[in-house]
Amino acid sequence: MSASFRVPLMIMAVYFLSLWGGVAAVQAQTSPDVSLTCDQPQPIDVYPGATRTTIIYCTLTNPTTLSEKVELTYQSGVIAVAGPGSATVPPGDTSFQVSARADLRMPEGQQVVTITGTVTQWGGTPVSGVSSPTEAKVMTVFKQFSRLRVGSELAFLQLRPKVDYTLIFDVYNDGNARDKFNVEIQNYDELNDEGFQLSLPLVSQEIDSLAPPEKFRVQMRTPKNQGWTDQYYSLQFKATSEYSVRTEGIPNYQIQVMTIYIRGVYLPGFELVGTMMMAALAGAAVGRGARDDGPRVDHEGNVEPLGARLF
């Protein structure tokens, strides 16, 4: 066969093969089909003032040559979701968004959201039981946040010089997860220079979210500056969330200020002198009582016997 006949025959063969392939593809598409994919959403902030929402981006893919209508359903557990109830998907891809919203102060954790797509129409014709549902699962995460309060029963205290006293401060964890709190006397050096002796037996403690407050004690001895004291001081008790320092980037802390009024006199050895004076006064009182019980002499010089007078 000459080359002049061979080329047209090859062109016709390719043409008929392409037609046959198209017919086979059309014949193969005897049922609807759809696939669903969703991206992992951003974690949800649940602290007071946050939007408490995240967006889930999803894509429906229709591999057929006919348009499809897909019904969408959602299972979201403890969080609320909002998304389209259905979508029309031409051949190719169609995107949609789902909004997920958590409660205020939701405990730190996670929740699986399941999105299901089912083809209900194909090429404008209702379908039933022909296409299996397709689903996508995404994980929504509720972020931890730090929040604390510091309190005390007393805001003002009056004491004498050189006395021991224990101050008690309450630290509350108002965050949404277990946190560790570090405490200190912020103006320790200033008070130490003024003559205070301060000690913190417990400097850090882990506290569960919304649990009863942890009590931190400050052991204090007031100044023993010689002479008269009439002075006001401020003690600054500070508690800091360790999670905020480690993760949030900005230390979250609170300071409780207590005013301490020191009034009185202190003299070295005053306690010993005071004890000796009390002993002397007691001895004088005993001696005076003994003299009162002795014999008495009347104006004529007669001695009155003991026990003769009742009054």
At residue 12, the pLDDT reads 56
At residue 130, the pLDDT reads 63
Give 179-231 pLDDT, tens digit per residue: 999 999 999 999 999 999 999 999 999 999 999 999 999 999 999 988 899 99
* Structural fold of domain 31-142: Immunoglobulin-like (2.60.40)
In the predicted model, residues of the chain with pLDDT beneath 70 are 1-30, 129-130, 269-311
Residue 130: HSE in the Cβ half-sphere, 13 Å Cα cutoff:
16
Which tokens go with 96? 């949609």
Q: Do 31-142 and 148-266 fold alike per CATH?
A: yes
Give the span between the Cα atoms of 268 and 274, in whole angstroms: 11
At residue 90, the pLDDT reads 95
Which tokens go with 232? 């006001």
8 Å CB contact between 144 and 169: no
Return the ∠ at Cα 302 (arms to 297 and 304), rounded to 5°: 60
Length of the chain: 311
8 Å CB contact between 133 and 72: no
At residue 226, the pLDDT reads 86
User: Can you give the residue ranges of every domain in the chain?
Assistant: 31-142, 148-266
Which tokens go with 302? 């007669």
Write down the pTM of the prediction.
0.71
| Domain over 148-266 is classified CATH 2.60.40.10 | yes
Give 281-310 pLDDT, tens digit per residue: 555 554 555 455 555 545 444 545 544 443
User: Which residues make beta-bridge pairs with 105?
Assistant: none
